[in-house]
Amino acid sequence: MKVMLGISGGVDSSVAALLLLRAGHQVEGLFMQNWEEDERSGPCTTDADRKDAVAVCGRLGIPFHARNFAGEYWDGVFEHFLAEYRAGRTPNPDVLCNREIKFKTFLDEAHALGAEKIATGHYARVDCRDGRYRLLRAVDAAKDQSYFLHALGQKPLAATLFPLGGIEKPRVRELAREANLPTHAKKDSTGICFIGERDFRGFLSQYIPARRGEMRSPDGELIGEHEGVMYYTLGQRNGLGIGGRHGASSEPWYVVGKDVAANVLFVAQGGESRWLHSRRLQSEAPTWVDGIAPATHFRCTARTRYRQTDQSCTVTVTDNGLDVSFDDTQRAVTPGQSLVLYDGEVCLGGAVIAATDAAYGGLLPSV
């Protein structure tokens, strides 16, 4: 079949193209530009990545396409990113980018170019059982990206191939070297392109003016001054600027809460401070891979951040979202981040975390 591959200029999408060709598909590559570089955002790797993508397509003998989705990215991802930070939350733009750009805008463009399916270099798997598509974890648990793909529904999954889902990353590098792909030794990209190598605070301050305020302990003691509550996230240790204090222990300080309205940042000593702990959370409206919840009340495992080990929990579907109770105490569960639910290797879906029963989590301890 004709498959349009989202080619990024990295080793993963390069090997995905190679595997699709070996499977007998008619493969074409499409490079997505999702950000317009300017003085505020600083250097991004778009030009270099595009050149690498062209080189890979040339090496493999497949057609190359390029499209600028910067406008769609700004409207569908970046404005939400800024709104969340203004509200004092910590968003995950990768989840929204996958749903709105890579598996929606890109999918529509691929169909317009005559492709039957799309493919990407994500580490995940898709299968179909009883007419319903399932999102599965990748074989390489260390690289699994189902967490970032949990918001995909039946339509995009039915049209998507994940060639790397069944192999491990060292084998990907090996295949790239064997095929003499120009990206075989290229370093994996990390972080968000629109921030680039710039300091995060410096980038964010170009869009949300800094507003200094008080940094206090949970009992109200004035500890210092913060640069702006939107710059900090729960559990953060670095960048607080708190030195040794007379009469205090030598334990490091951590962010344990925010009062956005009062512009106060709360900090406490100790990485396992009780102020960071929670057992319950409430979420915004969920998205389900299958289109519907598996039940209104069920057991499963969950992750509240990428690379976290699975945590056993009980989920109740409410009118407004999810109410989740964990078997074990959780540390630094952060509003704005994604809760992703699993049944074994199957990703069920997920939702944005709205509140927790931590001291400053916004949720009362009792149901």
57 counts as catalytic: no
**Cβ contacts of 30 within 8 Å, gap of 6 or more:** 4, 5, 6, 7, 64, 65, 66, 67, 106, 109, 110, 113
**Three-state secondary-structure class, residue 79:** helix
DSSP letters of 171-223?
HHHHHHHHTT-TTTTPPPP-S-TTTTTS-HHHHHHTTS----EEEE-TT--EE
97 counts as catalytic: yes
**Axis-axis angle for helices 11-22, 169-178 (nearest 10):** 70
Residue of 44, 57, 128, 193 with catalytic role: 193
Read off the amino acid at residue 20: L
Residue of 44, 97, 300, 347 with catalytic role: 97
Angstrom distance (rounded) from CA 305 to CA 236: 14
- CA 180, 25, 114, 35: dihedral to nearest 10 degrees? -30
Burial of 49 by CB count in 10 Å (0-12 exposed, 13-18 middle, 19+ buried)?
buried
Catalytic residues: 97, 193
